[in-house]
Chains A and B, each alone.
Chain A
Amino acid sequence: MIRFEQVSKTYPGGFQALKKVTFELPPGELAFLTGHSGAGKSTLLRLVALMERPSLGRVLINGHDLNKIKSRQIPYLRRDIGMIFQDHRLLMDKTVFDNVALPLYIEGFTQSEAKKRVQAALDKVGLRGHERKYPIMLSGGEQQRVGIARAIVNKPPLLLADEPTGNLDPKLSLEIMQLFESFHQVGVSVLIATHDLALVARMRHRNLVLKDGFMIDDGLAGSQFDPLGEELPSWD
C-alpha cells in the first residue's frame, strides 16, 4: 500500500526531517510509527498525504508514484486516505453530522446516502445519537472519535493517524486503538504515528521506529522486539 524508496525531506532552511527512509507497508496491514518528537513521524505522514513533497527519493501508494501526481489530482488522492489528527481538526461551527458528512458532500453524495453512511460511521465509533451536537459540547475523546468517523465515512483503503491518542487518558487511548484494529480487520491499511509506547507494546503490531530522520527499525525483523524490552533502540 505504501512504499518509501530512499526518501529524504529537507525543509527550507536546511532542517533534514527524513534521511533515506525506505520501507514498505503491504495492503491491509496495521503498523505503528514511533520515535521521539522531531524524529520525522509527522513529516512521513505528510509525505503520504501529499501535504509535502519529498526532496529526494520516491513515495509510492498502491503503485502510484506520488512525484508524478499533479497538484490538481491531490484532492482525489486525499479522498482515498482517511486522516486523523491529534487536534481533531473539526469544524467548530458545524454539527457532528455535518463534520462527518463533509467528505461525502465533497464527493457528491446525496443527502439520504450521506445520512446512512454518517449514521454507520458514528455507530462504529460509538457516537450514535450525537449527530445534532456541536463539537464543543463533546469531550476530547468524543471529539477524536468524530474525527475518526469523518476519516472512515467514505471507506478509504488507507488510514493515517498522527498522535490520535495524544491528549487522551490510557483507557480512552486503548479504546481508540481498538477502533483502529477493527478497521484493520476489515482490510483497511492503517499507519499510526504515536509515542505511546506502552500502548504499542500491548497491541503487538508492526512498529516502525524513526530516530533523527533515520528509520532505525522497519519492524519486519521485529516481532521478537518488545518495544518496552531491553532490545529497544534508545531514542530518549
Chain B
Amino acid sequence: MGLISSGSSKKSSGARSVKISFWRRLVMFFVTNLQQGIGSLGELSRTPWASLMTIAVLGLSLTLPATLYVVVKNAQSATGEWDQAAEISLFLRKDLQTQEIQSFRERVRLMNEVETVNLIDREAGLREFRESSGFGSALDYLQSNPLPDVLVVVPVPEYRSSERAQRLLGVLEQEREVDSARLDLQWLQRLQAIVNVVENSLAALAILLSLAVVLIVGNTIRLAILNRRDEIMIMKLVGATNAYIQRPFLYTGFWYGVIGGVIAWISTTLMVWWISASVAQLTALYDSSFRLAGLDFSEMMVLWLVAIVLGLLGSWIAVRRHVAAIEPT
C-alpha cells in the first residue's frame, strides 16, 4: 500500500479504503504482463515499417552466422569420418619371401592395438593402380613391378587418435620387414586447423553481429521511449513504477526477437538450400553422395533463443538508460 496511508493516521484520514490482497496482486501481475505483452505486439503493428526494419536487421544479421555454422558443422561431420579412418600403410621390403610376409602379417594381426590387417600384394596393387590412375598403357612398358607389398593396418578404435596412431606407427616402423611406414594424418591435422580458423572467425563474426543487433534494437526502443515521453511522464505522475513502464518496451524487444528468429530460420534455410546445390556439385566430383545437413530442431530452437535474448538485451539496455531518465516536470 501507499506510503501515506500506511501511516498511523490512516483511519482518521478516512478517505482511503483501497485494499488488494497479495494473491490478487500476484494474479494481476501476470494478467497485467499478458496484457502488456499482447499490447506491445499491437504497438508493433502501429509502426509496421520501423518495426519490420529492425526485425529484418535482427533476422538477417543472425542468418550469416547461422549459415556459416551449418557449413562448418557439415565440414566437421565430413572430416570427422575421415579422422576415424586412420590407417597405417606399411610398405614391405621387396626381398621378402611370401612365407615371411604371411608370418609378419599374422604377427601384426595378433597385436593388441590392431583391429584388421589387409595385405595388398604387389600384383593386386599394380592392377588397382593401372585401373584408377589412367596410366594403364604406360605401365605396360615397365619391365618389373615397381610396387612393394603393402600391409594396410587399421588400429583398434582407442588407437585411432592421431597421437596414439603415431605411436603405433613408430612401433611398426621398427619391424625388420618394414621398409617404410606412413600414417596419413598430416593433411587431416591441417584440415582440422583450417576448420578451427573458420570456427574462430565465425565466433568473432557472430559476436560482432550480435552486438550490432543489440545496438540496433536498443536504438529502436530508445526512439519508441522518447516518442512516448509525455505518456511516460503522466504514468509516473500517477504512480507507475519504472518496472511497470519498462515492461511494454521489454515485450517489444521480446517480439522483435521472436519474429526476427523466425526470419532467421527462413533465410538460413534458403541460404543452405542455395549452397547445397553447389556442394552437391562439388561432392559429385569426389564420387561422394555427401548431403548438406541444414539446421536440426534443437539448433533452430537455439537460434530462436539467441534472437529473443538479443531482442530483450537491446530493449533492456534502452529502458535502463531512458525510462529512469524521464522525470515528470
Measured CB to CB, the residues of A under 8 A from B are 1, 27-28, 49, 51, 61-64, 69, 72-73, 75-81, 83, 89-91, 102-103, 105-110, 150, 154-158, 183, 186-189
Contacts and interface: CB of A to CB of B under 8 A. Distances in A.
Nearest to B25: A108
B327 A103 contact: no
B5 A157 contact: yes
A106 B36 CA distance: 11
A195 B241 CA distance: 33
A155 B4 CA distance: 12
Chain A's interface: helix, strand, loop or mixed, by majority? loop
Interface string B15-55: 11110100011001101100000000000000000000000
Max chain A C-beta neighbours (<10 A), residue from B20, B31, B239, B328: B239
18 contacts: A61-B3, A63-B9, A75-B239, A75-B241, A76-B1, A76-B2, A80-B3, A80-B4, A103-B238, A107-B20, A108-B24, A108-B29, A155-B17, A156-B2, A157-B16, A158-B4, A183-B15, A187-B13
B239 A76 contact: yes
A82 to B, nearest CB: 9
Interface of B: 1-5, 7-10, 12-18, 20, 24-25, 28-29, 31-32, 231, 233-242, 244, 327-329
B15 A156 contact: yes
Contacts of A83: 237-238
A61 B244 CA distance: 25
B3 A186 contact: no
Given A76-B3, A77-B4, A108 B20 contact: yes
A160 to B, nearest CB: 10
Contacts of B237: 49, 51, 78, 83, 89
A80 B5 contact: yes
Given A78-B239, A189-B13, A64 B18 contact: no
A134 to B, nearest CB: 14
Contact of A80 (B16, B17, B329): B16
**Closest 8 A/B residue pairs (Cβ):** A79-B239, A80-B2, A80-B4, A108-B28, A62-B7, A78-B239, A187-B14, A157-B13
